[in-house]
Amino acid sequence: MFKGFLTAALGAALILTGALSTDALAAKATFVTIGTGGITGVYYPTGGAIAKIINAKKDIYNIRASVESTGASKFNINAINSGDLEFGIAQADTQYMAYKGIGDWEGKPVTKLRFVFALAPEAITFVAAEDANIKSVMDVKGKVINLGDPGSGNRVNALQVFRAAGLDPEKDFKGESLKPADAPHTVQDGKIDGYFYTLGHPAGNIKEATAGKRKCRIVPITGMDSLLKECPYYSKTKIDMSYYPDATNAADGAVETIGMLATFVTSADIPDDVVYAITKEVVENLDEFKSLHPALASITKETLLEGRTAPLHPGAEKYYREAGLLK
């Protein structure tokens, strides 16, 4: 009887010890959240690709990564600054303005913002309904155009394009503030004539709009020399129209526009070993990472350090120096 009691007590103690060990292990785990963008854009699957790679090594690094759909660039940077997110994806221009304390951050620079690596190039994309007769940026007069939700990089880019073209959203046309995910069906419903979205290609959002019953085209954005001179993070680029065979101007082959890089950013408060691990796993599994979304195909080890308009995080720097990517 007593022996049985001891056996049972020992078993219970072992179970309790095991539970405590498991709890202790979980307590030591580092949980990080990656801020992305709308689920129909490129940021969300890109964040998912990063999380998948780091979670595959959770037994080694004890890092658990999750992904959150957000308002994209500006939201992610502000959430990183407040400590609500550990990592985020942001356009190079938004990163530049936040760290420098200009634009929406006038007089309030995000000094803790840190660069980790660059992602895919992004293009300022202007989708317009064919029946709206918009063939250039100047054709928006009297139309209804979605600029993007407040605080988004999309909206900043759209406003910069119109300013460079000498157009005023409050006088020359009606500017809307829809989220990118709502724009394709809104243009199909006839409530707007077109919309802006800065993103990598191919993108489900643009496919949704161009494949709808209301025919759409991708409008070129040209004549932006003054903007390119003013903003060093912009460069000329082209959108491959083979991605969007249902667009009315698919036969053009490519559409000229301007764009910048998307970047992966964090805070100076995030421990070096966490940033080191994420950087190492993405770089050393770059082919797998690129295969997880077509928009990532152009990334190389050399381009990972481009688009750096905020200081490099020490954890990322440590890995780049070890790998010989940074001297």
Predicted TM-score of the model (pTM): 0.77
CB 129 within 8 A of CB 177: no
Same topology, domains 30-121+262-322 and 123-260? Answer is yes
User: What DSSP designation does 190 have?
Assistant: T
What CA–CA distance (Å, rounded) separates 287 from 93?
Answer: 27
Looking at the DSSP assignment, which residues form a beta bridge with residue 126?
A: 196, 219
Q: What pLDDT is recorded for position 27?
A: 54
pLDDT of 26 reads 47
User: Contact 264/50 with Cβ under 8 angstroms?
Assistant: yes
Whole-number pLDDT of residue 242: 96
pLDDT of residue 57: 96
Question: What pLDDT digit, counting tens, does each position of 302-317 carry?
Answer: 899 988 989 999 999 9
pLDDT at position 19 is 43
Q: What is the pLDDT of residues 4-29, one digit of tens each?
A: 444 444 454 444 444 434 344 445 79
Report how far residue 262's alpha carbon sits from residue 133's, in angstroms, rounded to the nearest whole number. 31
Among 90, 95, 145, 96, smallest CA distance to 122 is for 90
CA distance 315 to 327: 15
C-alpha span between 158 and 165 (Å, rounded): 11
Q: Which CATH number fits domain 30-121+262-322: 3.40.190.10, 3.30.565.10, 3.40.50.300, 2.40.50.90?
A: 3.40.190.10
In SS3 terms, 18-87 reads as: HHHHHHHHHHHCEEEEEECCCCCCCHHHHHHHHHHHHHCCHHHHCEEEEEECCCCHHHHHHHHHHCCCCE
Q: What's the confidence (pLDDT) of residue 314?
A: 98
Between CA 22 and CA 20 the distance in angstroms is: 5
2 vs 252: CA distance, rounded Å: 88
pLDDT for residue 42: 87
Q: H or E element: which one contains 175? A: strand 174-176
The SS3 call for residue 238 is strand
Dist. CA 325–CA 281, nearest whole Å: 15
Q: Among 284, 292, 293, which Cα is nearest to 304's?
A: 284
Render pLDDT for 239-256 as a digit per residue (tens, 0 to 9): 999 999 999 999 999 999
- Domain ranges across the chain: 30-121+262-322, 123-260
Q: Which residues does the chain have with pLDDT short of 50?
A: 1-10, 12-26
**What is the DSSP secondary-structure string of 71-134?**
S-HHHHHHHHHHTS-SEEEEEHHHHHHHHHT-GGGTT---TTEEEEEEEEEEEEEEEEEGGGT-
- CATH architecture designation of domain 123-260: 3-Layer(aba) Sandwich (3.40)
Instruction: Indicate the average pLDDT of the chain.
Output: 90
